[in-house]
Amino acid sequence: PTAMDVPWSLGLILLLLGIPLTHAEPLYILVTPRVLRVGNPENIHVQAHSDSGQPLTGTLEVNLTVWDFPRKKAEVARSQLTLSPENHFMSQAALMIPESLVYPPQPGQQHVIIRATWAPTSTSSFMEKVVLVSPHAGYIFIQTDKTIYTPEHMVQYRVLTVNHKMDPVTRTFTLDIKVASPVGRNPEGITVISQDLLASRGIFASSFHLPELISFGTWTIEASYQSAAKLKFKAAFDVKEYVQYRVLTVNHKMDPVTRTFTLDIKVASPVGRNPEGITVISQDLLASRVLPSFEVRLIPKKSFFYLSDDSLCVEIQAWYIFNKPVDGHALAIFGVKLGSRRIAIQSSLQRVEISRGEGHVSLQKDTLMAAFQGPEEDFIGASIYVNVTVFSSGGEMVQAETSAVKIARSPYNIKFTRTPQYFKPGMPFHFRVFVSNPDGSPASGVLVRCQDHKVYTSPSGVATLTINTDAQLKQLPIQDGSGNFLHIEVKTSDTEVGSSLRLSLHTRHLNPAAKDQITHFTILVLSKGQIVSTKHQLKSQGSVYTSVIIDVTSEMLPSFRILAFYLLPRGTGQNPELVADSIWIDVKDRCMGTLKVGLNHEDSFSSLEPNSKVDIKVTGDAEATVGLVAVDKAVYVLNSKHKLTQKKVWDVVEEHDIGCTGGSGKDGLAVFKDAGLDLKMSTGMDTLASSDWHCPQSQPPSRRRRSLKSLETKRNAVNKFNTELERKCCEAGLRENPVGLSCEERTRHVRPEPACVAAFLSCCRLSAALTQQALQEELLLGTSDEDDEDFEDIFLDDQPVRTLFPESWLWRTFTLPKSESR
């Protein structure tokens, strides 16, 4: 019989049996960040798929509600979504978890329940997902007007409060100002000021005076949000002593010389007690303590020295702060740093002319070898330093030193970065390596080979390589599944705001018929732990390649992930097969908004005279708050390590990324989890709720070469020793060894005292353990080795300061007008 012959009673029987006459219940998908941060609008993605092969029609209303967990008594947030053909049956809603949910703090981790409800067409009408809540409400950045101060100076500072989208927020924070404590006492410092303050529209500015009697060293300003009191954001500045005196060192011919001398400052003692006075300061100093009017830079021709090389050349650049070249002469001496020992090569002392700001000095290999006894191999791992004092024709002198030249056996170090942990058989496997010079700086233009693939490193030292895997290859961890794969192919591993990124979605199937079941891909763009945008991409019919274009916006700074997936249905009411892939893309650093500072009429100024008046032009986004400060460049000549820079800002953001790998995953659900997402389907497919916002078995991701925690661990290791000798030997053990010598082998180059050897070995082994941990993090999380601050900075606290620094000025905060012309 035909369909017309079926009696109406059979239709009623089918209806009573629950078999639909038209279409089945749509498949609903809920996607959320795997961690919801309080006080921030978090985008929740919902989409619907046909579960019966028939296209969806009409509109679908979905209600989202957030409830406390586990009691489910209080509704925390709610929103509503409309899914329709116009938006390809997918949409996002912003939900905000209030800080009151986690403050005052409660023991254990906090979770919420996200409930999605829709109008039922058959049986089920809702699904629920448990998601972790983090008290991390946003970031705090702190800026001081200078990086170094002396007693009785005023410290001016700004506190900038932003959410996870980097938008300014009005929020209360706790501020702690800590002074440096004596070595070995309290490595975290002593808190002298602690107070709760309010940043209005994302900024708070204040100041405090340093007393006359003060603790010298590195001070810190720490700030934290009340919801996450243990998460500290820090800024540091140095406090150095200052006495107005000038010491001139000359030889018997009355020529100026660069020489270390011991300085004792004594106070008069009561009559009859000590006629020589009481020493209150005793220290070894080098040459002058005068405010430098010019800067000296030493540029080695290369950052490593082979024992087969004939010589090492160093360029001297001397320029006045006001951008004019220096004429005069320079005295230079070379030396070698072997572990904690510093050995000057007296025969290398030389005098050279400085003309138009330039000069050159060199060290011959014969001079190096004649100064030492022993085999050449003993020098592997040592550093060559050069100390240069430049005397201008006007009688001023400035001293500079560099020890960035390593004596090396191999010119490069290679480390994996942002490497996926799984590959798909028969599909390309892309990975990145970071190539560095022995001093840790990026090595650009270096040829890197992998099998038959050749590529040159980028200016940042990164090379992207490809292995074309065989379909039967099983030596690497293989992504689980039924033989259906998805691979995101991108021609570049980095991009910039305003560009368009072209990528290709490549599918592979054991059963060729499966490719015809794919109608479209869903693409999610993630940055800073949030869903930035989504895209519905139709599949190219009959092809395993589909081309996609993604526009790169400022919301994707400083990096972003692209996650793509498709579904293969397995029948009504059953879990479909989820096939997904993700990739991490770096974005060239820049401001999220627009900001430019310059002179109002730059063409009319060839140079500026003291006391002259100039107009400054600031261009930026309408109604943006701008903070200004003018600092004498001489301050940064002496100390620039505590400056707040754009790179430091983005490093902090990357450290709190909730994505866990450079891409891919064990299976479809793992791809979501590793990219920083949770997923729930109305059929029951589900990712496990996170128990920690950190990535499993690892520290949080970071682009920095050494995390602050690692630096603090090393600093504490030094401070635990009581004698100066032990501390110096520990410092030597903590320094990196670029040529792979073991800690035991390196002890041949330290002082023979048992206490020194013990301190060196203890700290060297600690450094090796931290390095191994960092290497594992680089492979898993894709951390790179691109830090602009050397670890040597933590050992510079005992260096003499040459000057009192005049105050900075132009410390102002203002709001740009509301104007289309900005």
pLDDT, position 633: 75
Tens digits of residue pLDDT in 733-752: 887 664 456 788 777 767 77
Residue 662's pLDDT band, with cuts at 50, 70 and 90, is confident
The answer to whether the peptide bond before residue 70 is cis (omega within 30 degrees of 0) is: yes
pLDDT, position 636: 73
pLDDT, position 272: 56
> 785 pLDDT exceeds 80?
no
Q: Taking a C-beta distance cutoff of 8 angstroms, is the pair 434, 441 a contact?
A: no
pLDDT, position 699: 41
- Residues with Cβ < 8 Å from 107, sequence gap 6 or more? none
Residue 706's pLDDT band, with cuts at 50, 70 and 90, is very low
Mean pLDDT of 449-454: 82
Please name the residue ranges forming H helices in 179-269: none
**Residue 268 vs residue 761, higher pLDDT:** 761
pLDDT, position 473: 57
pLDDT, position 290: 44
- The two tokens of residue 588 are 């060239």
pLDDT, position 722: 80
pLDDT, position 698: 43
Q: Taking a C-beta distance cutoff of 8 angstroms, is the pair 313, 402 a contact?
A: no
> 17 pLDDT exceeds 70?
no
**Residue 349 vs residue 774, higher pLDDT:** 349
Residue 5's pLDDT band, with cuts at 50, 70 and 90, is very low
Mean pLDDT of 701-730: 70
**Residue 252 vs residue 109, higher pLDDT:** 109
Mean pLDDT of 153-165: 95
> 460 pLDDT exceeds 90?
no
Displacement of CA 244 from its chain's centroid (Å): 40
- The two tokens of residue 465 are 């390589």
Residue 694's pLDDT band, with cuts at 50, 70 and 90, is confident
> 79 pLDDT exceeds 50?
yes
Displacement of CA 793 from its chain's centroid (Å): 18
Strands 110-118 and 126-134, by their bridges, are: antiparallel
Q: Which of 191-200, 269-278, 723-732 has the lowest mean pLDDT?
A: 269-278
State how far the alpha carbon of 502 is from the alpha carbons of 371, 505, 807, in Å: 59, 10, 50
Give the sheet arrangement for strand 545-551, strand by strand.
484-490, 500-509, 545-551
The pLDDT mean for the chain works out to 82
Candidates 537, 536, 534, 541; CA nearest to 515 is 541
| ∠ CA 626-532-820, rounded to 5° | 40
- Residues with Cβ < 8 Å from 6, sequence gap 6 or more? none
Tens digits of residue pLDDT in 478-535: 555 578 999 999 988 789 999 999 999 999 988 888 888 899 999 999 999 999 999 9
- Residues with Cβ < 8 Å from 30, sequence gap 6 or more? 44, 45, 46, 114, 116, 127, 129, 679, 680, 681
Residue 602's pLDDT band, with cuts at 50, 70 and 90, is low
Residue 580's pLDDT band, with cuts at 50, 70 and 90, is very high
The answer to whether the peptide bond before residue 558 is cis (omega within 30 degrees of 0) is: yes
| ∠ CA 623-626-628, rounded to 5° | 155
Tens digits of residue pLDDT in 374-398: 677 777 778 899 999 999 887 777 8
pLDDT, position 1: 42
Tens digits of residue pLDDT in 322-358: 788 999 999 999 999 887 678 889 999 999 999 999 9
Element (H, E) at 264: strand 260-267
In this structure, what DSSP letter does residue 478 have? B
pLDDT, position 477: 54
Domains and CATH numbers, the chain: 3-134 (2.60.40.1930), 294-407 (2.60.40.1940), 413-590+653-676 (2.60.40.1930)
Mean pLDDT of 788-814: 55
pLDDT, position 274: 60
- 121-135, 274-288, 406-420 — most confident range: 121-135
> 215 pLDDT exceeds 70?
yes
pLDDT, position 454: 86
Strands (E), 135-232: 139-144, 148-149, 154-162, 171-179, 190-199, 203-209, 217-225
Alpha carbon distance 800, 673 (integer Å) = 51
pLDDT, position 474: 55
- The two tokens of residue 54 are 């028939």
> 185 pLDDT exceeds 60?
no
Candidates 638, 644, 642; CA nearest to 806 is 638
Mean pLDDT of 231-259: 73
pLDDT, position 432: 82
Alpha carbon distance 75, 77 (integer Å) = 6
